[in-house]
Each structure stands twice: as structure tokens, then as C-alpha cells.
Amino acid sequence: MKELDMKRLFLCISLLLLVGMTSNSRLYAQEPTLEESLNYISFSEMSYRNRFFPGGQKSMASTDFDSRLPAKMYDDLTCKMHGWATESKDLMPSVYLKIALPDKSILGALTFGGATAYRTDLLFIRDRKGVIHSSLECCVMFLGFAIKQYELREMEELVVYQMIFEPDKVMPYEDYCVEPVPVTGHIHKTTYFIAPTKQFVKMKEEDTDTKSFSSFLLQEHDLWDEKAFGMTYKK
């Protein structure tokens, strides 16, 4: 009798585990693909420059990881230490920008990091058949500290700004983002053209002069505002 009860108990546990695994599989399978998520958000205009998502969570659509769009998640200001977003479901991406290009291709933007302190954004160009032709890392932040930011301008122009620190060494976030610490660096500005070939074509690079400033300015100001850091672009 005891043996029969044990068999029944084992069977019940096995069934519960099977149901749980099936439910989890269904839940994971229901995570929308990039194509599905793109259909959830509205088209935007080409001009874009925002530190945060202008429409909040309502303007975003979560999506599954896509092997065509891998994202690095950084652990330091100089972007030397990193892992990959795919290492944790907490870092799963959301699509928040969809712009129609002249040839009907789509310029889209993905943000990785979810509700964590980490953020990495990728821009990508997708044709009408769903093929991803190119992608570009365009934003890196931690707790609102801006390391890399971007803006989109008319005439298919993209500008990426990145703070370059000196000396060129590993600068862990915890050493600079808890209390204000003096840092030295300059802003590197790269301008791209979104070409008809569906590629991000680098047009020019510019640098400001090098200045020392409080690390907390990275949380208070945007990198396109070089004057906030006491910097000017070299001629």
C-alpha cells in the first residue's frame, strides 16, 4: 500500500513539473519577435534627440532577443568591461523607435537593460522583407550617467556622441557613480549618413578639447551639450 501511495505521489509531482515546464515554455514562446513588436509602435519623424523615451513605456514594445542584433552591456565608463545582454532575461530589449526611410525601409531603435541600471541602445536598418542590413551601437548609460548618446537629424543624418576619458583605463561604475569624482575627458562626435545601401556611412569625426569635470555632470547633462562640460569643439 505504501509503495502504491509513493508511486501516486511521484506521478503527481511529475505531472506538476511537466505542467510548470509547459507553462514556462508557452510564456517564453509568447515573447513577441522583432517584426511583431515593430507593428505595435507608431512611426516617428526623422528628427530625434531625447535622453529618455519621450512616450514612456506606452511608446515601447518588448521583444525577444534577436541573434542579428547582439548588444554589449558595460560595467565601466570607458566601455572596456562588458557582458552580453543575452546573459540575463532582465536585460531583454524593447523597440521604441520606428522611422520610415525614403525607400520604405525602416530605421529602428532597440534598448536593452529593462528595469535594471544598465542601458545599451542599437539602431538598425531593416528592409521591407524583414532583412537587417546594418546596426550601430548608439547609446550607453548607467543609472542615467551618459557615456554615449545620439541624435537623428533630417536628410538621414545620424550623430553619435561619446565621452572619451583620460587616461585610457578601466573605470568601474561604482567608483564614479556613487559620489561625485573628478574625471578628465573630451567628447568624440561622429556623424553618419544613412545611405540608400541601408548602411551607416561615417562622414566625419570631431573632438572637443579635454577638460576636467565632476562625474555627476554625466547624470545631469547630455553629451550634445558640450558647453555644460566646459568644452568646445576643435577647429
Domain segments of the chain: what residues? 32-63+71-229
CA distance 125 to 99: 10
Residue 108 grid cell: 529602428
Residue type present at position 89? K
pLDDT tens digit string along 82-131? Answer: 999 999 999 999 999 999 999 999 999 999 999 999 999 999 999 999 99
pLDDT of residue 31: 83
Instruction: Report which of 71, 67, 59, 63 is spatially closest to residue 35, judged by C-alpha positions.
Output: 63
Q: Return d(Cα 179, Cα 140) in angstroms, integer.
A: 20
Percent pLDDT > 90 in the chain is 81
Residue 206 has φ and ψ, to the nearest 5°, of: -135, 155
Q: Considering only CA atoms, which of 229, 217, 140 is closest in space to residue 187?
A: 229
Please report the pLDDT score of residue 202 as a whole number: 98
The more confident residue out of 176 and 13 is: 176
Residues 6+ apart with CB under 8 A from 68: 132, 135
* Nearest CA among 60, 62, 64, 55 for reference residue 41: 60
pLDDT at 214: 98
The chain-wide mean pLDDT, for the chain, equals 89
What are 3-53's pLDDT values in tens digits? 545 545 544 554 454 444 444 444 445 789 999 999 999 999 899 999 887
pLDDT at 4: 45
Give me the phi and psi of 96, to 5 degrees please: -130, 0
